[in-house]
């Protein structure tokens, strides 16, 4: 279990008993004397009924739970004995293994909540470590109770909002937002990881703050959008919840979130630094502000104290360090009056000494003036210090950085020669040696402003400037060499320290004259020569380098495309198909650069991306049917002639309709034995839009056109006679005899079965194979450019590359300077293909005779469309299922009354 999971098990229910809380009697006031464990349980249940379950008759917190047994009176009694006002209601017993921490053995869990969730033991450390990302910057999942993958049940307190005026006295907007922030402030704000660290795990983060006071989620929104509430807070009890965190590799962890009782939302004094510098050079004037905020409803007077020390613990002074105080109080310690629900600002200023500086500030430290329960935010500490050094950073897209820095942070490095006597006889000579310790960090190491010593001086000063190049590759990240570093948290840099040492000596010759006395005591002058030496100031100059790495995410947010068939009914002539196109992989690059000593960027370089990306887009098609010449139109001339009783044969071009007056009431009356020629012309337009890496004609379009063509049906149950005098249907299929006539057997013409009576072609399909002009194609290249900051890349590419709003990954560009471009030499095309197909019935207008023995009755001629099962296709649209056919594209009803023999006999 990770640290987050372990910590998430903490479901804190801490009864904070505060004197005079308005919703409770004196019996629930903040006196621990006289309290018993059963009384604590009673008060907790009273809280729940009062605020959330006014109609509840039973206790929210029972004395026993079925699974884990009785509540732990020993833990409550221990707190009562300590005169503590904080209680945890826990069931069961210690479990989950033990650790030895802070000189005692601690079980991981002290028991269970009423709902069976493990409760972490008080003081249990973060034994799985910490990645260095502050709580507010975790990649939290919004509205986790709506995320099916997490499989958690929504509680009535998720996304909670109350309009109860009593509750809104504490929850000003009706939500738990303020209570969550207060809980985070109380447990984590301003605290450093070292307070939670176990066995020095991730000790490089020991001095990092785990949560910034009053911080909101950096992803945007509010805490109530992310916190799954397990236990609501009350006036006297802590609530608890969880946030769910999406890891970079797809795993999900969770973290327990304390929700403060309403008592902590009321009376509180809080101190916070303002304008606290992280580092400064020696001699720089520093001004630090502290803001003291009060939530008391009345004016309060309290005590405060500054403590400002050097690294060795000695205090800064007004004389040595120009220490001074300003603002609403101008002393190091004293009293301060704060207005009701108001603020006060205090300032301290000083000149940066030759070491780091630590600042501690306290207000109402003991919580007695006025009475306060929450004291975690009363003392603030700048620990470890305001540093003298500042990391030199390589940003996410920096390959190398040329740096230049003065040794000794610009202070003079001096050597002072003292003349023993006499006079100097030459220049001072020597050298200040500057060497690097790390051979794989300071590349192209050079030193300027450090000439060899050869000057007539007694004090020799050097101010060397170190020049070097810091390479990304020396930190384990080599994207050009295709060896990418993928940190778990890109916000945490990989750091290294580099040390440059300096030392050296100077020397200078001198001479003097002195007396040597002879035997008679006379002075004999003698010149003596000598040389003196002196060392340069020696030391080491340590610099910290931080390299930030981000080389893309493996999986981009999934794009959602329509996958449906619109207007897919058996009455619609137009069908619209939408599907996700076939995936095509492509390579990307990102741009990286070098930085010169002047801070300017140069040498922009295209660098291969770590992951292949996949092009997908919205493909679509339309299938639209039309009746170009209906059967009504085709038979209109002959039908009109029959109505008029005309006997002009030329007028009966397609069929011979009965002229009998009594038969004119029927739409299409005929007598058997005459010709009734199949007729009609129908068209369909198939248009597809697909995306391909080549501009060639697509098989997707061809196969869809073929499937549409094969769905066409011309059907009739009229009975015909062929050249062999046999009774057949329109397909030339024999009809079984039945009495003096024949059984009905509908015949169907299709694109695959075009021939009918006497093997005549009664259905002709005009498509691209007969007429190439029936097919058209429009090809649009989906443009892209590898040129940096070039906007000539189509949004379709941006939808499937990282670093763009179109792919919901713009934060990769804004946070990590990571934006992908399509690598040159790759192509993608939007191909729009259109095919127009015509179905002509009996193109040559063959006379097709009905059988003279066709029985009287009603017959039909219908043009319709069969369903198209796309699942049998090999293309991406196969997932759409079936295109529903058309029940009726065209239809007429034919009435048979009598036969040609009736006319012959008359």
pLDDT in tens, 812-866: 999 999 999 999 999 999 999 999 999 999 999 999 999 999 999 999 999 999 9
Stronger pLDDT, 682 or 10, i.e. the higher one: 682
Name the segment(s) of the chain with CATH classification 2.60.40.10.
269-381
Encode burial over 197-225: b for 16+ CB neighbours within 10 A, e otherwise.
bbeebbeebbeebbbbbebebeeeeebbb
DSSP 219-238: TSS-GGGT-EEEE---SSB-
Q: Is the peptide bond before 639 cis (omega within 30 degrees of 0)?
A: no
Residue entry with tokens 């109609």: 55
**354 burial type by CB count under 10 A (0-12 exposed, 13-18 middle, 19+ buried):** exposed
Reported as a pLDDT band with limits 50, 70 and 90, residue 137 is confident
Q: In angstroms, rounded to a whole number, what is the distance separating the alpha carbons of residues 512 and 527?
A: 6
pLDDT in tens, 791-819: 789 999 999 999 999 999 999 999 999 99
Average pLDDT over residues 256-285: 76
Q: Note the Cα 246 to chain centre separation in Å.
A: 9
Q: Hey, which CATH number is domain 269-381, 1.25.50.10, 2.60.40.10, 3.40.1280.10, 1.10.1660.10?
A: 2.60.40.10
**Lowest mean pLDDT, pick from 200-209, 400-409, 575-584, 854-863:** 200-209
- With contact defined as beta carbons under 8 Å apart, do 250 and 1 qualify? no
Per DSSP bridges, beta strands 574-580 and 564-566 are: antiparallel
- Alpha-carbon distances of 364 from 63, 181, 182, 502, rounded to whole Å: 39, 21, 18, 49
For the cut 70, the answer to whether the pLDDT of residue 28 exceeds it is no
pLDDT of residue 32: 47
**Lowest mean pLDDT, pick from 12-21, 86-95, 344-353:** 12-21
- Rounded to 10°, the helix 37-51/73-81 angle is 100
pLDDT of residue 346: 95
**Lowest mean pLDDT, pick from 135-144, 377-386, 716-725:** 377-386
Q: In angstroms, rounded to a whole number, what is the distance separating the alpha carbons of residues 373 and 238?
A: 13
pLDDT of residue 535: 86
List of E strands, 281-391: 285-294, 300-310, 324-327, 333-338, 343-351, 357-363, 379-381
Q: In angstroms, rounded to a whole number, what is the distance separating the alpha carbons of residues 258 and 210?
A: 14
pLDDT of residue 61: 87
Stronger pLDDT, 324 or 1, i.e. the higher one: 324
Listed in sequence order, the residues at least 6 apart from 544 whose beta carbon sits closer than 8 Å to its beta carbon are 389, 390, 391, 392, 495, 496, 497
Q: Note the Cα 793 to chain centre separation in Å.
A: 23
- Of 484, 486, 465, 459, nearest to 473 by C-alpha is 484
SS3 338: strand
pLDDT of residue 551: 97
pLDDT of residue 269: 87
pLDDT in tens, 437-475: 888 999 999 999 999 999 999 999 999 999 999 999 999
Q: In angstroms, rounded to a whole number, what is the distance separating the alpha carbons of residues 885 and 712?
A: 9
For the cut 80, the answer to whether the pLDDT of residue 316 exceeds it is yes
Q: In angstroms, rounded to a whole number, what is the distance separating the alpha carbons of residues 349 and 288?
A: 6
Average pLDDT over residues 740-752: 95
pLDDT of residue 13: 30
Using only C-alpha atoms, the chain has a radius of gyration, in whole angstroms, of 46
For the cut 90, the answer to whether the pLDDT of residue 506 exceeds it is yes
- With contact defined as beta carbons under 8 Å apart, do 253 and 245 qualify? yes
Q: In angstroms, rounded to a whole number, what is the distance separating the alpha carbons of residues 113 and 492?
A: 35
For the cut 90, the answer to whether the pLDDT of residue 151 exceeds it is no
pLDDT of residue 103: 73
pLDDT in tens, 239-248: 888 999 887 5
| pTM (predicted TM-score) | 0.56
For the cut 80, the answer to whether the pLDDT of residue 27 exceeds it is no
Q: In angstroms, rounded to a whole number, what is the distance separating the alpha carbons of residues 725 and 737?
A: 13
Angle, vertex CA 567, rays to CA 564 and CA 573, nearest 5: 130
SS3 303: strand
> Please, what is the average pLDDT of the chain?
88
pLDDT of residue 33: 54
């Amino acid at each position: 279990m990770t640290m987050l999971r372990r910590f998430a098990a903490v479901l804190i229910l801490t009864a904070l008993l505060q004197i005079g809380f308005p919703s409770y009697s004196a019996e629930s006031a903040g006196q621990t004397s006289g309290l018993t464990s059963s009384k604590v349980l009673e008060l907790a249940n009273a809280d729940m009924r009062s605020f959330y379950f006014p109609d509840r008759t039973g206790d929210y917190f029972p004395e026993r739970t079925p699974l884990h047994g009785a509540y732990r009176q020993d833990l409550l009694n221990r707190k009562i004995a300590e005169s503590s006002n904080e209680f945890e209601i826990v069931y069961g017993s210690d479990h989950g293994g033990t650790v030895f921490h802070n000189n005692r053995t601690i079980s991981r869990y002290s028991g269970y909540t009423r709902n069976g969730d493990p409760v972490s033991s008080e003081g249990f450390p973060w034994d799985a470590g910490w990645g260095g990302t502050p709580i507010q910057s975790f990649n939290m999942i919004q509205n986790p109770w709506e995320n099916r993958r997490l499989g958690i049940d929504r509680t009535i307190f998720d996304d909670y909002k109350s309009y109860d005026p009593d509750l809104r006295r504490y929850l000003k907007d009706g939500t738990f937002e303020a209570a969550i922030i207060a809980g985070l402030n109380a447990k984590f704000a301003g605290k450093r990881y070292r307070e939670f660290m176990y066995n020095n795990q991730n000790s490089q983060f020991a001095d990092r703050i785990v949560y910034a006071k009053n911080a909101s989620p950096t992803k945007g929104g509010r805490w109530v959008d992310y916190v799954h509430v397990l236990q609501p807070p009350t006036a006297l009890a802590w609530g608890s919840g969880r946030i769910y965190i999406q890891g970079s590799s797809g795993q999900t962890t969770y973290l327990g979130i304390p929700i403060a009782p309403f008592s902590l939302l009321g009376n509180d004094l809080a101190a916070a630094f303002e304008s606290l510098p992280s580092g400064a050079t020696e001699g720089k004037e520093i001004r630090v502000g502290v803001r003291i905020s009060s939530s008391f409803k009345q004016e309060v007077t309290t005590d405060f104290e500054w403590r400002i020390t050097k690294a060795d613990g000695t205090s800064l002074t007004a004389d040595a360090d120009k220490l001074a105080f300003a603002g609403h109080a101008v002393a190091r310690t004293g009293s301060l009056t704060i207005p009701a629900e108001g603020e006060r600002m205090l300032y301290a200023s000083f000149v940066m000494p030759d070491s780091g500086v630590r600042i501690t500030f306290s207000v109402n430290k003991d919580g007695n003036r006025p009475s306060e329960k929450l004291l975690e935010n009363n003392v603030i500490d700048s620990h470890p210090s305001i540093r003298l050094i500042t990391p030199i950073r390589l940003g996410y897209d920096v390959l190398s950085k040329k740096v230049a820095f003065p040794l000794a942070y610009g202070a003079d490095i001096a050597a002072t020669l003292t003349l023993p006597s006499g006079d100097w006889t030459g220049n001072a000579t020597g050298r200040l040696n500057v060497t690097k310790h790390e051979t794989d960090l300071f590349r192209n190491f050079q030193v300027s402003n450090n000439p060899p010593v050869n000057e007539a001086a007694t004090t020799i000063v050097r101010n060397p400037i170190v020049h070097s190049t810091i390479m990304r590759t020396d930190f384990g990240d080599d994207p050009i060499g295709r060896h990418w570093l993928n940190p778990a948290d890109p916000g945490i840099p990989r750091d290294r320290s580099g040390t440059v040492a300096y030392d050296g000596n100077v020397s200078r010759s001198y001479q003097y004259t002195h007396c040597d006395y002879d035997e008679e005591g006379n002075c004999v002058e003698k010149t003596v020569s000598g040389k003196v030496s002196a060392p340069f100031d020696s030391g080491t100059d340590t610099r910290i380098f931080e390299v930030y790495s981000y080389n893309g995410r493996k999986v981009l947010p999934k794009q959602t495309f329509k996958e449906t068939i619109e207007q897919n009914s058996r009455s619609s002539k137009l069908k619209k198909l939408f599907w996700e196109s076939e995936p095509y992989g492509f390579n990307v690059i990102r741009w990286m650069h070098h930085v010169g000593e002047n801070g300017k960027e140069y040498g922009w370089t295209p660098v291969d991306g770590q992951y292949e990306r996949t092009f997908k887009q919205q493909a679509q098609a339309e299938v639209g049917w039309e009746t170009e010449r209906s059967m009504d139109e085709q038979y209109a001339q002959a039908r009109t002639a029959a109505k008029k009783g005309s006997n002009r044969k030329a007028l009966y071009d397609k069929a011979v309709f009965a002229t009998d007056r009594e038969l004119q009431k029927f739409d299409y009356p005929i007598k058997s034995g005459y010709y009734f020629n199949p007729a009609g012309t129908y068209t369909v337009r198939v248009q597809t839009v697909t995306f391909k890496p080549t501009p060639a004609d697509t098989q997707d379009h061809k196969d869809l056109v073929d499937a549409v063509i094969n769905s066409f049906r011309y059907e009739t149950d009229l009975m015909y006679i062929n050249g062999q005098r046999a009774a057949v249907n329109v397909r030339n299929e024999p009809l079984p005899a039945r009495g003096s006539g024949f059984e009905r057997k509908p015949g169907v013409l299709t694109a695959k079965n075009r021939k009918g009576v006497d093997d005549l072609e009664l259905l002709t399909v005009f498509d691209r194979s007969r007429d190439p002009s029936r097919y058209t194609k429009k090809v649009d290249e989906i443009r892209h450019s590898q040129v940096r900051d070039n906007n000539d890349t189509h949004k379709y590419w941006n939808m499937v590359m990282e670093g763009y709003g179109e792919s919901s990954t713009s934060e990769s560009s804004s946070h990590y300077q990571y934006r992908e471009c399509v690598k040159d030499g790759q192509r993608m095309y939007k191909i729009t293909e259109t095919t127009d197909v015509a179905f002509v019935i009996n193109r040559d207008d063959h006379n097709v005779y009905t059988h003279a023995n066709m029985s009287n009755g009603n017959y039909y001629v219908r043009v319709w469309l069969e369903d198209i099962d796309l699942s049998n296709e090999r293309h991406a649209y196969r997932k759409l299922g079936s295109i529903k056919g058309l029940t009726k594209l065209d239809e007429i009803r034919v009435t048979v009354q009598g036969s040609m023999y009736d006319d012959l006999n008359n």
